[in-house]
Amino acid sequence: MTRTLVIANQKGGIGKSTTAANIGRALTERGYQVMLIDLDPQGGLSAALGVDSYDVQFGSHIFLLHDSAPIYRVSQRIDDNLFLMPASLHLTVAEIQLARRTDAVIRLRDALQRQPAPVDFVIIDTPPTLGILTANGLVAADELIIPVQCQYLAMRGVRTMMQAMQRLQKNVNPSLRLLGVLATLYQAESLHSQEALGEMRSVFKHKMFETILAYDDIMAEAPVAGKSVIDYAPTHPAAHAYRALATEIINRGN
């Protein structure tokens, strides 16, 4: 059975897209088939895998707008087990068009029910807002991962994210559950970063992933090469961290 994960937090620049790309890649290393869906008009996830959103004609915007768009015509194959439904800049316009529809936030869920991707994991990356595109991701998924930067201002947005999840659970998607809160951009030498991590752990307890993603330039460099960190620097500690995270995700689903 396919597990559908969404990675969401309305704070930008905290590693959502990098996390999506690398979890996907780490899962394929374990032999799973993975479909990544990029719902962010900025196309960070697509870029991290070498697909330029400026060039994308058929992508997630078409899948959201056209009932009859075949899923395999709006997707690309990255390697043997990894598939990507890339984002296009047109997603911004698509969001405006969706806003006029009564089924605006259930479009992705319905499309995936009509045309389920024959994979083990679907991972949805969302834009740094709580708009229609993010709502589509939250409605289509069963499990939510909230990446949080280990910093005060970044942590402040978690409350809104939890409220959004709670409302959607109540009204649209009762099967949505919090898979885990993921600490990102952790700086071991920073007292502030240590405190932030401690507070997150004290609140979310076992809902925090044990894996912590430390700040490292490698996260910024890998997308320049159009590769995941795992492909770009397979033996780097960051690559191992994503592998560990993938293992946690697999185990939490059991």
Partner 1 sequence: MAENDFQRASMRGLGKKILLGDESVEPIASPESPDDPAMLKLTKAEEQDLLATVSVAHTPHAEAKQEALPPLELDMPRPTQLAGASLPLSDDLQALVATAFESSESLFYGVYGEGIPPLENEPASFISLNPAEVTLPPEVASIIDENFEGWDQSAPPIETPRPVAPQPTPEPTVAPSDPAATPPAERNDYNHLIPLVAGWVVAILVLIYQLIKDSKENKNEKEG
Count of all residues that appear for the chain in the document: 254
Nearest CB to partner 1, comparing residues 163 and 234: 163
**Closest approach of partner 1 to the CB of residue 97, in Å:** 6
Burial class (CB in 10 A: 0-12, 13-18, 19+), 188: exposed
Q: Which of 64, 3, 32, 26 is nearest to 254 (CA)?
A: 3
**Closest approach of partner 1 to the CB of residue 233, in Å:** 27
DSSP, res 33:
-
Residues that bind partner 1 (CB under 8 A): 57-58, 61-62, 65-66, 68-75, 77, 83, 88, 90, 93, 96-97, 99-101, 114-118, 152, 155-156, 158-159, 162-163, 166, 191-192, 194-208
**Closest approach of partner 1 to the CB of residue 48, in Å:** 20
3-class SS of residue 64: helix
Cα 36 to Cα 19: distance, rounded to the nearest angstrom:
11
Nearest CB to partner 1, comparing residues 23 and 200: 200
**Closest approach of partner 1 to the CB of residue 7, in Å:** 18
DSSP lists the bridge partners of residue 118 as none
Cα 164 to Cα 175: distance, rounded to the nearest angstrom:
14
**Closest approach of partner 1 to the CB of residue 149, in Å:** 13
DSSP, res 207:
G
DSSP lists the bridge partners of residue 186 as 214
